[in-house]
């Protein structure tokens, strides 16, 4: 069993996820770009039962942040079955977690080549 730990920048919010994620994705939507300050965000989805977290988390439009340092860390799906983790918040570089899809590719920067994975113009639904 693989256990991956992670935290916010200041370390007040900590979490761990067990085993492999359900999926890994890149998102180019405006919200993810603004929240990350980058051209895209990389996230992993784990089953809720594989997640443990501690520390105070505040939410803005469903996105979980540390109230002290402002780092985006995790959020629960609307049905409560899945947890979305920003893979950059994992303690060890997630070099074995490769994206399986890209979202909002219609907003992808022209200088950024598409990955050889499933592509979605907007959301997966």
53-70 tens-digit pLDDT: 999 999 998 899 999 999
The pLDDT value recorded for residue 67 is 97
pLDDT of residue 94 exceeding 80, the answer is: no
Lookup: tokens for 6: 């992670």
pLDDT of residue 125 exceeding 80, the answer is: no
How far is residue 108 from each of residues 7, 37, 99, measured CA to CA in Å?
28, 14, 15
- DSSP characters over 21-51: -SEEEEE--HHHHHHHTSS-EEEEEEEGGGE
Q: What is the pTM of this model?
A: 0.90
Q: How confident is the model at residue 14 (pLDDT cuts 50, 70, 90)?
A: very high
- Structural domain total, the chain: 1
Calculate the average pLDDT of the chain: 94
Q: Residue 124 falls within a domain, yes or no?
A: no
Structural domain harbouring 11: 3-119
* CATH code of residue 59: 3.90.1590.10
Regarding predicted confidence, which is higher, 95 or 59?
A: 59
Q: Residue 125 falls within a domain, yes or no?
A: no
The pLDDT value recorded for residue 18 is 97
């Amino acid at each position: 069993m693989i256990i991956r730990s992670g935290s916010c920048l200041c370390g007040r919010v900590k979490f761990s996820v067990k085993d492999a994620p359900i999926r890994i994705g890149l998102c180019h939507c405006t919200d993810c770009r603004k929240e990350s300050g980058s051209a895209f965000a990389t996230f992993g989805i784990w089953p809720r039962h594989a997640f443990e977290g501690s520390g105070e988390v505040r939410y803005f439009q469903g996105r979980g942040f540390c109230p002290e340092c402002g780092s985006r860390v995790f959020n629960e799906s609307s049905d409560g079955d899945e947890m979305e983790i920003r893979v950059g918040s994992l303690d060890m570089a997630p070099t074995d977690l490769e994206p399986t899809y890209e979202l909002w590719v219609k907003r992808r920067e022209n200088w950024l080549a598409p990955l050889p994975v499933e592509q979605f113009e907007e959301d997966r639904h």
